Amino acid sequence: MKELIRSTDPTVMAFASALLQGEDIDCFQMDVNMSILEGGIGIFPRRMMVREEDYDRAARVMQDNGIPLGK
């Protein structure tokens, strides 16, 4: 798995997830439970992970839709 994006904005993560699902790219959000424990104030970012072999295609989808990558 490789980190694609990192964001404290849950709407960005939901949009990114929907875009990736539309392209048949599997993704997994990490640190979701950490965000819940903090009380939703947005201190800890969530990470969107994709498979290494899907990374280039997923990065292109994010760039085409104006979502910054988490490098």
What does the pLDDT profile of the chain (71 residues) look like in tens digits?
Answer: 999 999 988 899 999 999 999 999 999 999 877 756 666 566 788 899 999 999 999 999 999 999 998 65
pLDDT of residue 40: 59
User: Please, is 56 exposed, middle or buried when counting C-beta atoms within 10 Å of its C-beta (0-12, 13-18, 19+)?
Assistant: exposed
pLDDT of residue 32: 79
Query: In the sheet where 27-30 sits, what is the strand order?
Result: 2-7, 46-50, 27-30
Whether this prediction's pTM lies above 0.95 is answered by no
